[in-house]
Chain A
Amino acid sequence: MAQLTLVEAVNAALKREMERDPAVVVLGEDVGVDGGVFRATLGLIERFGPERVIDTPLAEALIAGMAIGMAAEGLKPVAEIQFSGFGYTTIDQIVNHAGRMRHRTQGRLSCPLVLRMPCGAGIHAPEHHSESPESIFAHIPGIRVVYPSSPRRAYGLLLAAIRDPDPVVFLEPTRLYRLFKEDVADGGEALPLDACNTAREGSDVTLVAWGAMVHESLAAADVLAEQGVAAEVLDVATLKPLDLDAILASVARTGRCVIVTEAARTCSFASEIAAGLAEEGLLHLLAPVQRVTGYDVVVPLPRLEHHYMPGKERIIAGVKKALAFG
């Protein structure tokens, strides 16, 4: 079993699926000869040729729209948007076409495409390179929004996303791309979509997170454990459709919930989960649900971004607040 970083796991999944299914094509800016600016598509063009590993012109709306055309015509495109901050021009295509094609044609045409977008802060990148747009995408009907939190998760979830018959926005946390390695079995086995993953079991409080914040939440749980607090960490691997039942089940056991996201607070996906808990889990709760989030500001440039992103200290503070209540 190979020890892979998250970005290597993405690469391995792409290779595996292109090998298995000739309908899979990869497209995007610099994905060919360059292997992608993060090297997620490294070596693909040598193995599968420039017809299936497509360097596109520099045009994100084209990439999304072209993927829709390819998918409806029987290919399985995996398109890379170089950074999610450049992905906002794809939203027209995702809202108006990818998410609607199947329903609009009553199943006659469909859009089995994956739009990969590196996202999140913490890599000291220029403006527009540290966005957290997941709640924008999660609002769109007819698509899936998937967000892996580790190399193993990235490998299995990307395979599942490519094999899924509907459009998937696949958000990749750049901060975790090379942060750590994990044993990844490259056997072509997909992980389930539409399901939360329990990253750590605990009985005192439920931490709900996705992407890089799962990593921060696990770090917070380590510290909390030393203080005698057993935190459960749920990894919301698929934001849309949300596996709220798994979160409710955990909160039913712990009675306390802290939701962690590095996105701006208002209308963040943490808000959606908090609303779901308020509607369906009120009687499980021993304390108000806490949201530990980014601030309602533009993601700061690198000199200030560490003040913006929630780290284990802010997560622990949120947990303390939940524990102190009642």
Chain B
Amino acid sequence: MSIVARFEIHYSQFLDEHGKVLQPLPPFARAPQNLVALYRWMVLMRAYDAKAIALQRTGQINTFASLLGHEAVNAGIGSAMAPDDVFLMTYRENGVQLMRGVTLKELFLYWGGDERGSDFAGPRRDFPICITIAAHATHAVGVAYAMKLRREPRAAVCALGDGATSKGDFYEAINAAGTWKLPVVFAVTNNQWAISVPRARQSAALTLAQKAVAAGIEGLQVDGNDVVAVRHAMDEALARARSGGGPTLIEALTYRLSDHTTADDATRYRSPDEVAEAWKRDPIVRLRAYLAAAGAWDKAAEDALLREVNEQVQAAAQAYLDTPPPPAEQMFDHLYAALPAALQKQRAAVLGDESWRS
């Protein structure tokens, strides 16, 4: 018997959980101000997250999916992408969205149950949040195909969770993206839990990154609590995509520090010890430790930042709360480019005209 294929999966980490540098930093991370900028985003994400949960708990938005613990993954993806790339996301990438110009108010509108929250004033080509798991991986293939067909130096970035890698849509997408060498990055946030089902019960595969091997595309694993590692992997994957090198699957290892959503109670299925252990790898703590050691951050800066982000988040929440709901007929508007005649009577009915019934 002969061996016809071999593979290995590389794991990358630059900062350990104490902020200690494990290997020479990539060029972008050598200037502390670049990492300070990422740190500021991550702190904003956490402030936003806390505010959203508070709004949900007081009945002012609906079910919310927290990104607590995902700040490094979000900042790594968000900072690597170019404005005219296309981001296709799940509900746990609000941080990337903020970095791409989606406003805090739009995010609150979205979670408040208002479609206008997906009419981003910023990244006009980005997709709306995809709730059905992994369906958007196939959309990313189509987006990347269009970019390649038009010879554009753009890329699609598709964010997924660990549960998504069990879905047919995911396999169909990475497989097809490989056959056409499309400019797309599949960024899998492995936060260990798909609601109540742990990573070990999603797949017998040792890593999720190795699913790339079957699709004939690049795959690697990074420490998803290390923003430098995520950003560096994204930089390389996007460069590969733009230069015709094809797709990359990045598995970023992190932990969902929150419940799945505000409608979930994670104490039903995982131990407090496990969660306490995961908090020791908090992506924000480690980056702050690194920056402080590098002399680029101190308590005064931290206090000022916290004041700033809290004010920002508070103002956006107020702007959301001050936004009246759309008119009832909005459910018909934008359903089609032009509302078909057959629907005109139903639209009139929602405005109070009941004559369509008779």
Q: Which of B120, B135, B144 contacts A97 (CB 8 A)?
A: B135
Q: Which residue of B lies closest to A280 (CB)?
A: B358
Q: Which residues of B contact A101 (CB under 8 A)?
A: 128
For B145-157 the 0/1 string (1 means CB < 8 A from A) is 1110100000010
Assess whether B138 is in contact with A243, with CB atoms less than 8 Å apart. Answer: no
Distance A110 CA – B116 CA, assembled complex (angstroms): 15
Residue ID in chain A nearest B158 by CB atoms:
A69
At the interface with chain A, which of B48-56, B219-227, B331-339? B331-339
Give the residues in chain B near A67, CB-CB below 8 Å.
Answer: 142
With A67-B142, A68-B142 as given contacts, are A104 and B342 in contact (CB-CB < 8 Å)? no
Q: Is the CB of B120 within 8 A of A66?
A: no
Q: Is B34 an interface residue (CB 8 A)?
A: no
Asked if B334 and A70 sit within 8 Å, CB to CB, the answer is: no
User: 8 Å CB contacts to A: which residues of B135-185?
Assistant: 135-147, 149, 156, 168-169, 172-173, 175-176, 179
Q: What A residues does B147 contact at CB under 8 A?
A: 73
- Judged by a CB distance under 8 angstroms, whether A106 is at the interface is yes
Q: From residue A65, how far is it (CB to closest CB) to chain B in Å?
A: 2
Query: In the complex, A15 Cα to B201 Cα: how many Å?
Result: 49
Given contacts A92-B135, A102-B336, A105-B128, contact A70 B142 (CB under 8 A): yes
Q: How close is B320's CB to chain A, nearest CB, in angstroms?
A: 16
Query: Complex Cα distance A109/B127, Å?
Result: 8
Q: Whole-angstrom distance between the alpha carbons of A104 and B147 in the complex?
A: 23
Who on chain B is nearest to A25 by CB? B149
Contact (A61, B168) CB under 8 Å given A68-B142, A72-B143: yes
Which residues of chain A from 64 to 86 have a CB within 8 Å of any chain B CB?
64-75, 77
Give min CB distance, A14 to chain B, whole Å.
Answer: 17
In the complex, are the beta carbons of A57 and B135 less than 8 A apart?
no
> What secondary structure prevails in chain B residues at the interface with A?
helix
Q: Does chain B have a CB within 8 A of A93? A: yes
Contact A166 B176 (CB under 8 A): no
Residues of B within 8 A of A108 (CB): 118-120, 124
- CB pair A107 B119 closer than 8 Å: yes
How far is B314's CA from A313's CA once the two chains are assembled, in angstroms?
Answer: 72
* Contact status A62-B169, CB under 8 Å: yes
On whether the beta carbons of A52 and B149 are closer than 8 Å, the reply is yes
Among B86, B140, B145, B334, point to the contact of A107 (Cβ < 8 A).
B334
Does B340 have its Cβ within 8 Å of any Cβ on chain A?
yes
B16-49 CB mask vs A (1 if < 8 Å, else 0) is: 0000000000000000000000000000000000
The minimal Cβ–Cβ distance linking B112 to chain A, given in whole angstroms, is 15
Tell me, in angstroms, the Cα distance from A54 to B310 when the chains sit together: 50
Q: Do A166 and B118 touch (CB < 8 A)?
A: no
Q: Are A103 and B334 in contact (CB under 8 A)?
A: yes
Question: Contacting B138 at CB < 8 Å: which of A62, A77, A104, A241?
Answer: A62
Complex contact B119–A106 (CB within 8 A): yes
Once the chains bind, are A62 and B173 in contact (CB under 8 Å)? yes
Apart from A69-B142, A106-B333, A165-B336, what 19 extra A-B contacts exist at CB < 8 Å? A25-B149, A61-B168, A66-B138, A66-B139, A66-B141, A69-B140, A69-B156, A70-B143, A74-B146, A75-B146, A75-B149, A105-B115, A108-B119, A109-B127, A109-B128, A166-B336, A166-B337, A194-B340, A241-B341
- Chain B interface residues (CB < 8 Å from chain A): 86, 88, 115-116, 118-120, 124-125, 127-128, 130, 132, 135-147, 149, 156, 168-169, 172-173, 175-176, 179, 331, 333-337, 340-343, 357
Return 28 A-B CB contacts under 8 Å, by A number: A56-B176, A59-B175, A65-B138, A65-B139, A65-B142, A66-B139, A68-B138, A69-B88, A69-B143, A69-B156, A72-B143, A96-B132, A97-B132, A97-B139, A101-B128, A102-B335, A102-B337, A103-B115, A104-B118, A105-B128, A105-B334, A108-B124, A141-B335, A142-B335, A166-B337, A241-B340, A243-B342, A279-B357
